[in-house]
Structure 1
Amino acid sequence: MAATRSGRITRASARTQADDSPSVPLGRNDQSRRHPATVEAAAAEAAGATRRAASRRPAPAKEPLEGISQRRSVVLSFWAVILFLGLPLWYRTTTVHRAPLPYAEIGRLEDAVVRRPELPLAAVALAVDGGCALDAAGRAAAQAAANAALGGLVHVALGAPGARHTIACGGAAETVVDGGVVRLPAPSGAPDAVGAALAALFRDEAAALAAFLDERRPTSNLHDIKLTDDVHVSYTLVLPNDASAAVLAAAAAWPAAVGQFMARAGADAGAAEYLRVSFDSQVQFVGPLRAGELAPSELSNAFAEWDLGDHLPARLDASEDAPPTSVVQFVVYVHEHGGDVPPVAVAGSRSNSILVSNRGGVIVWNRPAGAAADVAAGLDRAVFPVFARLFERLLSPLPPGVAGRRAYRVAGPPRLLDGFTADRYGRVLAYRSLVATSRTLASLSHVVTALPNVAIPPGVAALIAAAIARAHAAAALLRAPAAAGPAAVRAAGAAGALADRAFFDSRMVQSMFVPTEHKIAVYLPLLGPITIPLLVGLRKVVGDLRAAQ
């Protein structure tokens, strides 16, 4: 009982001490029984105690000035790289740069060459032989008659200085070119007949020039070989495996005959000014062709099956920096006929030959069995003239529908190309190159005008300016009656090459394949994560500067 009493006294004293101590927080049930004024006083005292404790905490250490300066330098360095290197690089790579083009000059060239060309388009100077018995008035009358018939497209200048060929009058049935002399089928002292013969001589040339003015007609070359190319001609004598001794004699004479034929081509100074020709010869044995009539496709397939390229010189496989060399392969197949063996005839060909486009040609030479005739003479009569005609067809710049049988015959032993034909083809080739240059530049100006995303590098503008200058120089050389044919061909060819380089410059289409929005889409994912810490660092630097102030 005494213990119970002492316990009660202890609990009562504890409650008394708790009531007298305001610093001890009350329980939830106890606070609910306390007076509101007492609770507010206790909360205020607790808050004051918290503030006094916080005021007694040590102040944070002040950042040294060296650290602030270092952080400021790093942040500003990053921003300097972005502003002075990143942004210019981004602008350079996303901006379409367009150098100014000479649009007015391009239009004037197109007018001068195609739309409203200045006549004549080409001129040719011819000396007059004394046998024609033409005085100054007679030459003027013959010249006027020829130019009127040619429509002013080709200007014939009789007696002009710098003539490369001389006309002679005679009673021949056709026009004959004999070296540097052109013999007309016109009597002496007949200006009208001389003018008509000259008009017939250059009629296909004038028709070709007129055809190139038609914008619907393409001006691209039908063949890969041009007058100004380096050309290598490979001559192959193909014999059947069962060739007789007489045919084998032709094989023995083949290299010397080819060398003599090519020596005549090199001796023609007029043709040598255009062409640089090398050659080789070989003999090959194959299975015999089928006797009788052959379709051109059969002969063409046989040409493709014969392995004729292993002997070609290594210089034809030169690097891209070396000048290109066109390869022409001429093949003559020797066939012996007699008795039950008929000759081989190529359907639709009077010369028993075919032209393999851009590659050369094949001739079938039928020889009677046991013939002992002179092999060299037979080649000059039956083979080499056909080679010359095939080679001329490969070089001809005349458009389809114009090319036909030429209005003259070349006298003397056959040669690969004569000077008179080279001059005619040179004038046509030069003007065709001018038309192609004009149309290429006009197309380029239309493209860059219609597509603003096409870049125009300064190098392209320089190429266009150079092409225009070369084209005007070539046009002036074509109209000059002096002997400027080779120079005109080379100037016009250079203008066309420059125009093609400008049109197909790869730098112009880069922005078309990689538009600006694609570039921005690539840059933003790279720059976004870098920009956020840079902005935070810049904000901190600005705060430091304000605090320093």
Structure 2
Amino acid sequence: MADVVEDHAKSPNGAVEAIDKPRSPPPETTKSITTRRLVISSFWAIVIFLGLPLWWKTTTIYRAQLPLQSMFDWSDGKACRPVFPLRIAIDAPTLPSADARHLLRTTQHALDDLNDFSAHHLRLLLANPSKRNSSGSNGQIDYDDGQLQGEADIALTISLIPAHDGATPRAELQKYAPNLDIYYAPNQIPSPSSTSSPLATFIANELQNIFAEEQAALAYLLSSSSNGQMARVKSLPPETAAAMERQKTRSFKYAPTYHLTFSLFTPGSAPSAWDIGAALEEYIAPLLHSLSPISNFTVDTQVQLYATFAPSIHKPDFDEERRAWTLRREDLSGFINAAEWPLSPSIGMGPTVNFVLYVPAESQSPLVVKENGGHSWLVPQWGGVLIQNPASPSSNPPALTKEALRPAMLTFSNQLLSLLGVPQTPDSLPLRISTLTRIHAASLLFSASSTLGSLARLTQALPGIAIPDNVASSVDQTISHLQAACDDLREGRFHSALEHARVAEAGAEKAFFERSMVGQVYFPDEHKVAVYLPLLGPVAVPLVMAALKEVKKISARRMSKAS
């Protein structure tokens, strides 16, 4: 309690009265002032040197360093100029070496004059018959090119065959081998002094026609990507560009694995079985083996009886002139009864390609498309449908044999090639598949580069987003594989380029869709303030008020001393 000081005063009647007056506290000692200041300073020191760093460390969003400039360079097409040098080997075992080399040079000049697409050029090589491996009929051929080093892909082999009858020169492209046979008369070989010849011009025109669709596809791909700014893009006619757009819309996006489903549907109880295993082994397996360097395939089959039409389409009408039941073209897209037919949209990691074989009922057989009389059609990015009318309209067979399934399997093979984006020309299947390899390698390279650019722009637009170390690692690996793919394209190693581009595209997608990075977008800084303010407010108020009071006392003492 405060001390009380007794004072005296006189009352009006002259009596003396005592008055109690509060006594002022004694002045603070220097030791107590120092102690109070040390206590306040210790609290503030704990907050500043321990609390704030700990809070900053625990609430700071970790952002790994990304090579943003390199990512933008790939996205803008500055890091890689895609080129597609195709090696064409000329095998001329009956020609003297000097004549063969002169024909090669003459043909190469004719090719260069015809080519108007700098990113895609054909390079002729001469097969050296003296280095043939005679150990077997399928001997290897060494190519007379010091820069080839045995690693580049040979796109096509030209076999020069002397002919003594028939029209010459003439060309025959083998359907199941990347070989072009050129038949010529001995007098058509150019002389050493000539700079051109009809045979060289003929070979150049044949090669240009063979790879015309590939050039158009690559030109369209380059023109639709930012990388096309770094290359001379071949201008396409409007009808060719429209055809390329339709093909892109129809085909599936590239995937390392596709799942093929072959289904037999019938509205009745027959046929209830089909020799699908033998038919797939005979007609589909060789095609899948040819496509295996590009993608893997898994296959399953099913049979569905009593499968009715989708209720959204019109029932088939009977055409008196054709003596057949007809489906309207506008009903083909709704022919599949998705509500009742067991067709899974996707199985496993890759997309599912559906192939439906429909055997109509006896009462609606034969069944064809009204507009063109066809019985098969393609559903873009889904699969193919074929209506197999039985040979005897009176009754359906109880089972479909391998021979009966042959037309359907051949149709499904063509539909699969179309759905995968395989070009329609030339007639040689290996050439078309090798073209698909180059197209996919380029498209995956562009896709991964675009994804890197999107990721770089995302990290700049959202500074509060987390960037874990695995994202930075994926970006580095993606750039490394992109560079390897670009180098392989320049060197003509297209299968290796496809492998690197595939890994790069997967790495870019993995980095862009990282879960921890995306989740941070929904926790902005405003949420942090709302969470921490109720906790830090009650603690901060006493500290701030004590500091303010001490500052006021220090100011008051200084003013009193100055006065």
TM-score of the superposed pair, with normalisation by structure 2: 0.66
Aligned AA (1:163): I
Residue 292 (str. 1) matches residue 325 (str. 2): yes
Paired residue for 1:379?
405
| 3-state SS of paired residue (2:303) | strand
Paired residue for 2:275?
253
Residue 265 (str. 1) matches residue 287 (str. 2): yes
Residue 163 (str. 1) matches residue 154 (str. 2): yes
CA 1:369–1:107 in 2, change beyond 3 Å: closer, same or farther?
same
Residue 363 (str. 1) matches residue 373 (str. 2): no
CA distance in 2, matches of 1:73, 1:132: 104
Paired residue for 2:179?
182
Alignment of structure 1 residues 408-487 onto 2, 5 Å: 408-410=427-429, 419-449=430-460, 451=461, 453=463, 455=465, 457=467, 459=469, 460-481=471-492, 484-487=493-496
CA 1:148–1:292 in 2, change beyond 3 Å: closer, same or farther?
farther
Query: 1:428-473 CA distances to partner (integer Å, 9 max, x unpaired)?
Result: 0111122223333334444555x36354626344433332221111
Paired residue for 1:138?
103
Paired residue for 2:89?
127
Query: 1:140-187 CA distances to partner (integer Å, 9 max, x unpaired)?
Result: 433444455342332323335452653346889986443334335775
Paired residue for 2:146?
none
| 3-state SS of paired residue (1:366) | coil
CA contact (8 A) 1:113 1:438 kept: no
Paired residue for 2:211?
202
Shift of 1:427: 0.5
Paired residue for 1:239?
266
In proportion to residue count, which structure has more helix? Answer: 1
Query: 1:327-360 CA distances to partner (integer Å, 9 max, x unpaired)?
Result: 22211123488xx966322356676322223332
CA distance in 1, matches of 2:248, 2:535: 51
Higher relative contact order, structure no. (Cα contacts within 8 Å, ≥ 6 residues apart): 1
CA contact (8 A) 1:102 1:465 kept: no
Residue 110 (str. 1) matches residue 72 (str. 2): no
CA distance in 2, matches of 1:264, 1:95: 54
CA contact (8 A) 2:267 2:307 kept: yes
Query: 1:81-117 CA distances to partner (integer Å, 9 max, x unpaired)?
Result: 6642444424663678573534156326634478xx3
CA distance in 2, matches of 1:498, 1:229: 13
CA distance in 1, matches of 2:207, 2:158: 9
CA distance in 2, matches of 1:427, 1:283: 37
Residue 406 (str. 1) matches residue 372 (str. 2): no
Shift of 1:296: 4.4
CA 1:90–1:309 in 2, change beyond 3 Å: closer, same or farther?
same
CA contact (8 A) 1:228 1:490 kept: no
| 3-state SS of paired residue (1:369) | coil
CA 1:283–1:458 in 2, change beyond 3 Å: closer, same or farther?
closer
Aligned AA (1:379): L
CA contact (8 A) 1:147 1:154 kept: no
CA 1:141–1:502 in 2, change beyond 3 Å: closer, same or farther?
farther
CA distance in 1, matches of 2:64, 2:46: 29
| 3-state SS of paired residue (2:336) | helix
CA distance in 1, matches of 2:421, 2:358: 25
| 3-state SS of paired residue (1:301) | coil
CA distance in 1, matches of 2:88, 2:372: 36
CA contact (8 A) 1:99 1:456 kept: no
CA contact (8 A) 2:355 2:385 kept: yes
The structure with the larger Rg is 1
Paired residue for 2:138?
none
Which of 118, 132, 148 is the aligned partner of 1:152? 118
Which of 341, 352, 355 is the aligned partner of 2:375? 352
Aligned AA (2:405): L
CA distance in 2, matches of 1:113, 1:182: 35
| 3-state SS of paired residue (1:355) | strand
Residue 533 (str. 1) matches residue 499 (str. 2): no
Percent identity reads 23
Alignment: residue pair count: 464
TM-score of the superposed pair, with normalisation by structure 1: 0.67
CA 1:84–1:141 in 2, change beyond 3 Å: closer, same or farther?
farther
Paired residue for 2:18?
46
CA distance in 2, matches of 1:311, 1:355: 18
CA contact (8 A) 1:113 1:434 kept: no
Aligned AA (1:453): P
Shift of 1:276: 1.9
Query: 1:219-272 CA distances to partner (integer Å, 9 max, x unpaired)?
Result: 9975784565222222222334164xxx67xx4433322232233235x4x422
Aligned AA (1:204): E
Query: 1:469-507 CA distances to partner (integer Å, 9 max, x unpaired)?
Result: 2111111112223xx333211211222233334444455
CA contact (8 A) 2:248 2:421 kept: no
CA contact (8 A) 1:234 1:329 kept: yes
CA contact (8 A) 1:457 1:508 kept: yes
CA distance in 2, matches of 1:54, 1:438: 84
Query: 1:19-58 CA distances to partner (integer Å, 9 max, x unpaired)?
Result: xxx98974xxxx2xx4xxx58xx4xx725xx47x979x9x
CA contact (8 A) 1:127 1:158 kept: yes
| 3-state SS of paired residue (2:206) | helix
Paired residue for 1:14?
none
Shift of 1:392: 1.2
Where structure 1 has 5 or more consecutive residues not aligned to the other structure, the ranges are 1-21, 60-64, 319-323, 398-402, 411-418, 544-549
| 3-state SS of paired residue (1:303) | coil
CA distance in 1, matches of 2:326, 2:276: 26
CA 1:507–1:420 in 2, change beyond 3 Å: closer, same or farther?
same
Residue 326 (str. 1) matches residue 351 (str. 2): yes
- Farther off after superposition, 151-160 or 506-515: 506-515
CA distance in 2, matches of 1:335, 1:85: 78
Shift of 1:307: 4.9
Please provide the CA RMSD for this pair: 4.9
